[in-house]
A and B are shown apart, each in its own frame.
Chain A
Amino acid sequence: MTRFLTTLAFLAATTAPAFADVDIQEVETPAGFTAWLVEEPSIPFVSLEIWFRGGTSVDAPGKRGAVNLMTALLEEGSGDLDARGFAEARDDLAASFGFRASDDTVTVSARFLSETTDDAVALLKQAITAPSMDPVAVERVRAQVLAGLRSDAEDPGAIASQTFAKLAFGDHPYGSDGDGTLDSVAALTREDLLAAHAGAMAQDRIYIGAAGDISPEKLAEVIDTLLADLPETGAPLPGPAPLLLTGDVDVVPFETPQSVIQFAQPGMARDDPDFFAAYVVNQIFSGGGFGARLMTEVREKRGLTYGIYAYLAQKDQSELLVGQASTANERAAETVAVIREEWAKMQADGPTQAELDQAKTYLTGAYPLRFDGNDSLARIVVGMQIDGLSIDYIATRNDKVEAVTLEDARRVAGELLDPDALSFVIVGQPEGLDLGN
């Protein structure tokens, strides 16, 4: 019985799972917008993602935090509705709307029952195009943002991220918190917020994804209704963000039992011919799964941490290989030493054939599991557009992973991984670190 089952496991591991394709339609609207749609009528609702490139990085000089505060105010009243009227109208429709600002995007995520499409779109249009920025709402939400900033100042993870951003990116917008500072947020005026709205949510930077129970014709009508009143051009995007990492270990003293360790080095561009080799190497080396080298060495063998991972971060204006772990203060030095050692080992020798094979089977098999619902599909197809991928990318992606040879993987591991550039920020009371690096 046991032998039979083991054989079965072997067979299963060597045949690729069969998956249906994701059918993406490109929709051109009369007003000239482009959207990608996955039409899926079996459940009567629609997921819609509208992303604006630029995000908090288009904050005007001296107005840090304006885009973030503006985005938080979109649901606080618009057109003829105050915050309460807007929320009640939304709940009447059983719709949900999410508005978020990040370094590179302002995103609008909407979900509504297909039979309420027209009403939900009319309400969402108000929020996107005619937010009131009512002074009372501005003060209420400003106080919430300030409270968040004060909490971040006492949060070791947030301190680590912000320290790292400053070291890596200096004066580029990526180098500071998009939420702003206590002073900059306190100084924002209603006019600043209206300017941030016009600058960040303009027609020249829109990407649209939709999935669910909606036809291409109806989607085109919805998009033109929602977006045609926005300004044609927005604020200038920031320029490239050169990385300023020096390979040092920076410690931010903070009273806590556990050190938060962030580490990073230069990454790789999405359109680099070696990107897929780098992606596979990253999976083998520092993917979050069990069996990745860092997870095995730092967690499984030594019990130094609950979790450790690093990933290729693609920002619009920069690329990083960035990771994180947390460990007891007295074990921080050992954790850093193990990470450095594994970094050097992977750079020198690259992965084994067995590791490469397993990573490919995992990546190609797990890929289709992402396409598991309307919300996921809408996010994926809008993300593909903002990343500049082609509409047939999904069908070709696994071939690109399969095409990575052991030679490629070893060469790219050697070229990409750079123990000298690997920089650490540690927040806590780490013991035994040699800071003379």
Chain B
Amino acid sequence: MFRSVLFGTGLALMAMVPAHAEAVTEFTLENGLDVVVIEDHRSPAVVHMLWYKVGAADEMPGKSGIAHLLEHLMFKGTEIRSPGEFSQIVEANGGNDNAFTSWDYTGYFQRIAADRLPLMMEMEADRMTNLQLTDELTAPEVSVVLEERNQRTDSNPDALFREQASAAQYLNHPYGRPVIGWRHEVEALTAEDALAFYRRFYVPNNAILIVAGDVTPDEVRSLAETYYGGLVPNPDLAERDRVIEPPQIAARRLVFEDPRIAQPYVVRSYLAPERNSGDQEQAAALSLLGNLLGDGPATSVLGRKLQFDTEVALYTAAYYAGTSLDATTFNLTVVPVDGVSLADAEAALDDVLRQFMIEGVDEDHLARLKRQYAADAIYSMDDAQGLARRYGDALTSGLTVADVQAWPEVIQAVTPEQIMAAAEMVFQDRNSVTGWLRAPIAAETEVTQ
């Protein structure tokens, strides 16, 4: 149960780190529904999550936003429940519920007293097959989504730029489309579009049930068989075999000007491989590379060189999100101080990357990072819902429970050589998108006059 992790630092710190102290059980129902149970008996509450292995990257061209619109419409009622009744019943039982959509998944969850789990399962199973939709119900929800887009994206120049940058990063893959959808396509979505998507993808053999909290695997198995066991799978459901990127042979450069950008900055992304089942070493090396370059202003390579040693930047960041079904990105940001141009900030960033390739990994820094990953195994046990999301994210991104549990050890085993090899592989100009964000030059001139 407990695994010893020894650090060569002289500190007794964490001589005993529970490797996977969270108690996790998995099984599959006959209709193909995967079930994961995470036990946490500290308080008599439960998180019930149903994840569908379908997201915005599975939409048909021209229908961007349909995965997310359907997520909203799933609260609009079934044969036995009126619009809004689902959430009303959850609230009347003292629970909270919500849903989320990404490129690779769509998830629905409730947090509630553990003795209400049967009711949650009954309602979630009901809306997997009995959703009722009309154009009258759909039209106001399309307006809600357009307001959501206004709020999250159109009112936010950073978010507007991220859409453009993703579109430039992916030449062929649907990760280049925004999850919320392009406005003109969202405006045209109908109830029939949503139902077609629903019928095809909302089936038990395309879903993962995650229950975390004060439950036992036996209880969950019995309840899942009762409520979800009778649902009919879709035998024609194909593997998610999405289009792949052609070789990227031209570095892309974007300039985005918006008067709302008070603080100009440079961002760079590189196409990067994702975590793959049974083969997570390179992704672990990229994760640590991201931490080495960007784990904080006083400790990271970018922060030290650009914020401390030279005062080029106000803020720097590096980030790699490896949990993804298909190719992901490695991201860098530099926000220059007043008086440093975007060209100089970008040049300084490139200098730091070049120096890093020569100087290599600071082994003390790497040891500290590994210690933090080991401690995360303890801290993360405090948050059953966070663990449930971690598993759901992984399991809808082509990984297994075993991969999630192996990850801390894979991280601990990464060598400086592997990190440098990963850096060599990922920092390829031809795979990159570089963006400059700034207010229109004319507007800046007006301000200074």
Partner-B contacts on A (CB < 8 A): 2, 5-6, 8-9, 12-13, 16-20, 40, 42-45, 47, 76, 83-84, 86-88, 91-94, 111, 113, 115-116, 140, 143-144, 147, 150-151, 153-156, 255-258, 260, 289-291, 296, 299-306, 326-328, 358, 361-369, 371-375
Q: A6-B80, A371-B43 are in contact. Are A17 and B116 (CB under 8 A)?
A: yes
Q: Judge if B296 is at the interface, Cβ distance under 8 Å.
A: yes
Q: Cβ of A365 and Cβ of B119 under 8 Å apart? A: no
Query: Of the candidates A13, A45, A374, which one forms a contact with B93 in the assembled complex, judged by CB atoms under 8 Å apart?
Result: A13
What's the Cα separation between A84 and B263 when bound, in Å? 26
**CB-defined interface of B356-395 with A at 8 Å, one 1/0 digit per residue?**
0000000010001101101100110111110000000000
With an 8 Å Cβ cutoff, the count of chain B residues facing the other chain is 81
Q: Which residue of A lies closest to B337 (CB)?
A: A143
- List 22 A-B residue pairs with CB atoms under 8 Å apart, sorted by A's residue number: A13-B92, A19-B44, A19-B113, A76-B298, A83-B297, A87-B298, A91-B369, A94-B13, A94-B372, A113-B375, A151-B262, A154-B262, A257-B155, A258-B151, A289-B96, A306-B148, A306-B152, A365-B94, A368-B44, A372-B42, A372-B45, A374-B382
Q: Cβ of A365 and Cβ of B263 under 8 Å apart? A: no
Query: Of the candidates A12, A88, A363, which one forms a contact with B119 in the assembled complex, judged by CB atoms under 8 Å apart?
Result: A12
Q: Cβ of A369 and Cβ of B92 under 8 Å apart? A: no
Query: Of the candidates B115, B126, B142, which one forms a contact with A18 in the assembled complex, judged by CB atoms under 8 Å apart?
Result: B115
What total of A-B pairs shows CB separation below 8 Å?
219
- Which of B187-195, B231-239, B303-311, B409-417 touches A? B303-311
Q: Which residue of B lies closest to A82 (CB)?
A: B298
**CB-defined interface of B6-21 with A at 8 Å, one 1/0 digit per residue?**
0001011110000001
Q: Judge if B426 is at the interface, Cβ distance under 8 Å.
A: no
Q: Cβ of B44 and Cβ of A94 under 8 Å apart? A: no
Q: Which residue of B lies closest to A302 (CB)?
A: B140
What's the Cα separation between A325 and B383 when bound, in Å? 30
**CB-defined interface of B304-334 with A at 8 Å, one 1/0 digit per residue?**
1001100100110000000000000000000
Q: Cβ of B338 and Cβ of A143 under 8 Å apart? A: yes
Q: A9-B122, A306-B147 are in contact. Are A91 and B299 (CB under 8 A)?
A: yes
Q: Cβ of B379 and Cβ of A45 under 8 Å apart? A: yes
**CB-defined interface of B75-115 with A at 8 Å, one 1/0 digit per residue?**
10000100110011101111110000000000000011101
What's the Cα separation between A303 and B136 when bound, in Å? 12
Which chain A positions have C-beta within 8 A of B113?
A: 17-19, 365, 368-369
What's the Cα separation between A198 and B373 when bound, in Å? 36
Query: Of the candidates B43, B140, B259, B335, which one forms a contact with A147 in the assembled complex, judged by CB atoms under 8 Å apart?
Result: B335
Which chain A positions have C-beta within 8 A of B126?
A: 5
Q: Cβ of B143 and Cβ of A304 under 8 Å apart? A: yes
Which chain B positions have C-beta within 8 A of A9?
A: 89, 119, 122-123
Q: Cβ of B260 and Cβ of A256 under 8 Å apart? A: yes
Query: Of the candidates A43, A86, A296, A369, which one forms a contact with B111 in the assembled complex, judged by CB atoms under 8 Å apart?
Result: A369
A96 to chain B, nearest CB (A): 8
Q: Judge if B428 is at the interface, Cβ distance under 8 Å.
A: no
Which chain A positions have C-beta within 8 A of B11?
A: 92
Which chain B positions have C-beta within 8 A of A361?
A: 91-94
Q: Cβ of A369 and Cβ of B382 under 8 Å apart? A: no
Q: Judge if B429 is at the interface, Cβ distance under 8 Å.
A: no
Q: Which 7 A-B pairs have the closest CB atoms?
A: A365-B94, A303-B143, A17-B113, A94-B375, A303-B140, A87-B298, A258-B150
Which chain A positions have C-beta within 8 A of B307?
A: 140
A152 to chain B, nearest CB (A): 8
Q: Judge if B254 is at the interface, Cβ distance under 8 Å.
A: no
Which chain B positions have C-beta within 8 A of A154?
A: 259-262
Q: Cβ of B80 and Cβ of A2 under 8 Å apart? A: yes
Q: Cβ of B93 and Cβ of A12 under 8 Å apart? A: yes
Which chain A positions have C-beta within 8 A of B335?
A: 147
Which chain A positions have C-beta within 8 A of B262?
A: 147, 150-151, 153-154
Q: Judge if B139 is at the interface, Cβ distance under 8 Å.
A: yes
Query: Of the candidates B13, B139, B151, which one forms a contact with A303 in the assembled complex, judged by CB atoms under 8 Å apart?
Result: B139
Q: Cβ of A43 and Cβ of B382 under 8 Å apart? A: yes
B300 to chain A, nearest CB (A): 9
Q: Cβ of B75 and Cβ of A290 under 8 Å apart? A: yes
Which chain B positions have C-beta within 8 A of A300?
A: 83-84, 140
Which chain B positions have C-beta within 8 A of A365?
A: 93-95, 112-113
Q: Cβ of A291 and Cβ of B88 under 8 Å apart? A: yes
- Within residues 244 to 275 of chain B, which ones have a CB less than 8 A from any CB in chain A? 259-263
Q: Judge if B141 is at the interface, Cβ distance under 8 Å.
A: yes
Given contacts A18-B44, A20-B43, 13 further A-B contacts (CB under 8 A): A5-B126, A9-B119, A13-B89, A113-B13, A140-B311, A144-B315, A258-B150, A306-B147, A327-B147, A328-B146, A361-B91, A362-B92, A369-B96
Which chain B positions have C-beta within 8 A of A92?
A: 9, 11, 13, 368, 371
Which chain A positions have C-beta within 8 A of B83?
A: 300
Q: Judge if B225 is at the interface, Cβ distance under 8 Å.
A: no
Q: Cβ of B147 and Cβ of A8 under 8 Å apart? A: no
Q: Cβ of A373 and Cβ of B383 under 8 Å apart? A: yes
Q: Judge if B159 is at the interface, Cβ distance under 8 Å.
A: no
Which chain B positions have C-beta within 8 A of A260?
A: 155
Q: Judge if B118 is at the interface, Cβ distance under 8 Å.
A: yes
Q: Cβ of B147 and Cβ of A303 under 8 Å apart? A: yes
Q: Cβ of A91 and Cβ of B368 under 8 Å apart? A: yes
Q: Judge if B23 is at the interface, Cβ distance under 8 Å.
A: no
Q: A12-B116, A143-B337 are in contact. Are A84 and B89 (CB under 8 A)?
A: no
